[in-house]
């Protein structure tokens, strides 16, 4: 039973436009959410996170939105750059539990 | 500078052989984790340790073993009981009670 779902395996965007990556979760007890970026054959790199008490967190070009009623979060990248091309993982946790990851979305930003 | 190191980058295993993947961190983190990534899959938790000399099974612990004798080190042994060991293995660590985990560069294990 997958508690964190990233339903889009891939996304293609043109350079300079907005990239929107989506993530849905089923466990209403999750209280912390994270996004990681991963290049092939490398470890994931932490990007941005959000606590369940907030609905938005922004860091430079990256913004995460949380809609608790819909159990949905999204990562917005504006403007998108070719170097953003990678696999993006959504992760969630409850309290001091371990992270539960989605399967990832591959983002391709073309020049 | 601080970080998480994993060695080797590539590892080959023969049938029936146990192999050990190394993970070392100098971040002074209390918690350490092992994940497995397969193509098209997310990261699945194998084992984790929140403190020295203590560790817990994750979602897919069968065929694996770990030890945590030192705070800095969390080696993972892939035993012969693991029938499908080919995967990319990732080690991570985090400070106690902090949500963000930081990952090493990974080890790719291949079966000969």
Does residue A95 carry a pLDDT above 90?
no
Contact B19, B13 (CB under 8 A): yes
Render pLDDT for A36-55 as a digit per residue (tens, 0 to 9): 999 988 999 999 999 999 99
SS (HEC) of chain A: CCCEECCCCEEEEECCCCEEEEEEECCCCCCEEEEEEECCCCCCEEEEEEECCCCEEEECCEEEEEECCCCEEEEEECCCCHHHCEEEEEEEECCCCCCEECCCEEEEEEC
pLDDT at B97: 60
Which residues of chain B are modeled with pLDDT < 70?
1-2, 97-98
d(CA B23, CA B49) in angstroms, rounded, equals 13
- B89 Cβ neighbours under 8 A, 6+ residues apart: B6, B21, B34, B35, B36, B37, B46, B76, B106, B107, B108, B109
pLDDT at B1: 60
pLDDT at B21: 96
- The tokens describing A70, both together, are 């819909």
Q: Cβ contact (<8 Å) for A102 and B42? A: yes
Contact A22, A5 (CB under 8 A): no
pLDDT at A37: 97
Does residue A79 carry a pLDDT above 90?
yes
Chain A, nearest residue to B47 by Cα: A98
d(CA B64, CA B110) in angstroms, rounded, equals 15
**Cα-Cα end-to-end distance for chain B:** 36
Contact A50, A57 (CB under 8 A): yes
Sorting pLDDT into bands at 50, 70 and 90, what band is A26?
very high
Give the mean pLDDT of A60-75. Answer: 97
Q: Cβ contact (<8 Å) for B92 and A43? A: yes
Residue B18 Cα, gap to closest chain A Cα (Å):
23
d(CA B32, CA B96) in angstroms, rounded, equals 10
Interface of B with A (CB under 8 A): 4, 6, 33, 35, 40-45, 48, 58, 88, 90, 92, 97, 99-106, 108
Does residue A24 carry a pLDDT above 70?
yes
Q: Cβ contact (<8 Å) for B105 and A42? A: yes
Give the mean pLDDT of A16-22. Answer: 98
The residue with tokens 């560790």 is B55
d(CA A47, CA B32) in angstroms, rounded, equals 19
Residue of B51, B57, B99, B104 for testing the chain A interface, max A β-carbons within 10 Å: B99
Residue of A2, A43, A46, A100 for testing the chain B interface, max B β-carbons within 10 Å: A43
- The tokens describing A38, both together, are 């991963």
Query: Mean pLDDT over all residues of chain A?
Result: 95
Residue A3, number of CB atoms within 10 A of its CB: 16
Identify the burial level of A44 via C-beta atoms within 10 angstroms of its C-beta, where 0-12 means exposed, 13-18 middle and 19 or more buried: buried
d(CA A96, CA A110) in angstroms, rounded, equals 39
């Amino acid at each position: 039973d997958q508690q964190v779902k990233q339903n889009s395996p891939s996304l293609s965007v043109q350079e300079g436009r907005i990239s929107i990556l989506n993530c849905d979760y089923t466990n209403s007890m999750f209280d912390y959410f994270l996004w990681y970026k991963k290049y092939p054959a490398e470890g994931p790199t932490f990007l941005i996170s959000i606590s369940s008490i907030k609905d938005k967190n922004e860091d430079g070009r990256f913004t995460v939105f949380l809609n608790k009623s819909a159990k949905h979060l999204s990562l917005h990248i504006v403007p998108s750059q070719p170097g953003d091309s990678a696999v993006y993982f959504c992760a969630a946790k409850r309290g001091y539990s371990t992270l539960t990851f989605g399967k990832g979305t591959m983002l391709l930003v073309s020049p | 500078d601080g970080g998480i190191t994993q060695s080797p980058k590539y590892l080959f295993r023969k049938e029936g052989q146990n192999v050990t993947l190394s993970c070392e961190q100098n971040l002074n983190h209390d918690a350490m984790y092992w994940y497995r990534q397969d193509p098209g899959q997310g990261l699945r938790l194998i084992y984790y340790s929140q403190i020295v000399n203590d560790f817990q099974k994750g979602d897919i612990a069968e065929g694996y073993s770990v030890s945590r004798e030192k705070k800095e080190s969390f080696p993972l042994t892939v035993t012969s009981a693991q029938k499908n060991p080919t995967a990319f293995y990732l080690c991570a660590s985090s400070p106690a009670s902090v949500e963000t985990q930081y990952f090493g560069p990974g080890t790719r294990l291949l079966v000969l």
